[in-house]
Amino acid sequence: GAVVSQHPSWVICKSGTSVKIECRSLDFQATTMFWYRQFPKQSLMLMATSNEGSKATYEQGVEKDKFLINHASLTLSTLTVTSAHPEDSSFYICSARGGTATDTQYFGPGTRLTVL
């Protein structure tokens, strides 16, 4: 199957700093990428949907100015957590698909963010 990578796999940062997480589709062109957040022992919650070359669509309750998403190319989307706080600590997972909405999406391995 198709491969989606995330970098870094884990990151620890100080409160108030910004952290960028990359999501890459390695062997296909991802027209759409999704960003999910997973709290410990809980399910995945969709944060936003990004289409290449367009502004991301955020789910209700997700702060656009705090979680900046950029999908500048067909193989890369980035999530920047700005002015991170301890409550932003979580597991962030991206998924990507090519083509149309009927195509299968593939998940990345996730990024563990810990804000001290």
Smallest gap from residue 38 Cβ to other proteins (A): 9
Interface with other proteins, residue 101, by CB under 8 A: yes
CA angle 41, 56, 111 (to 5 degrees): 35
Residues 79-98 close enough to bind other proteins by CB under 8 A: 93, 97
**Residue 12 or residue 16: which is nearer to other proteins going by CB?**
12
**What is the residue-wise DSSP string for 65-100?**
TTEEEEEEETTEEEEEE-S--GGG-EEEEEEEE-SS
Per-residue DSSP letter, 22: E
**Residue 64 or residue 83: which is nearer to other proteins going by CB?**
64
Site string (34-63) toward other proteins, x via CB under 8 A = x-------xxxxx--x--------------
